[in-house]
Amino acid sequence: MSTSDSRFARIAGPLLLCSLFAVAGCASAPSAGRAPAGKVTVAMPATALPGQGYAFVPLLPMTSAEQDARVQDEAFRARLRQALERSLQDKGYVPVDLAKADFLVAYRVGVRDLQEVVPVAEQAGGATRMAAVECSGGRCSQLVVRNDTGTPVSRYTYVASERTEGGLQVEMVEPASLRVVWSALNAGTVQPGDATQARLDAIAAQTLAQLPAHRD
């Protein structure tokens, strides 16, 4: 890694990777080519970039989400890189050698599995004899109900919910100063699925949608 690359890696800082997409190695994908419902936040908008030529800067994984084997998979990273390249070129930018780049492209990607415990309201009484004595009116407990035997119990049971979260952050950086000239974070909860090329193309296009196109 060059001195410039190393300096960029040091100042980039850890990223709390949020929800975006499930990655290679998972099952049951959504429709191919369709980006998951997510939220793209452009932290630093711009009306133009410094020029037309770009080069990628390699960044070392820093968080456990970035070090997950699913996003360290070489095939996955190649597909994601290709997707970002395609979106950049669709906007009129061209790849060049690092020394000739008008701006640098850096990105972080990560994934993690989460388990949440969520409350589910219980129904009291049902068709049993206790249904006739259920509480009614404005002073009924929001926490306690009677079960089928008439015993006061919690209104809520708790059910575990598992999901996969991922995040993608992209920055465009001015080479001399290493000043960020445009950046976006794409985040959104999804179900596990296979990260096909078509799907990653859609995600990259979604992430870079607000990147200004090159104008001669």
Choose from 54-58, 151-155, 195-199 the range with maximum mean pLDDT. Answer: 54-58
Instruction: Quick: pLDDT tens for 60-69.
Output: 777 887 888 8
Please compute, for residue 32, the number of CA atoms within 13 A of its CA located in the half-sphere on the CB side.
3
List the structure tokens of 175: 């080479």
pTM of the model: 0.65
Tell me: domain 3-116+160-207, CATH 3.30.70, correct? no
Q: What is the pLDDT of residue 7?
A: 44
Helices 197-207/74-90 angle, 10° precision: 50
Of the two residues 214 and 121, the one the predictor is more confident about is 214
Instruction: Quick: pLDDT tens for 139-155.
Output: 787 778 777 788 887 77
Q: For the chain, what are the domain ranges?
A: 3-116+160-207
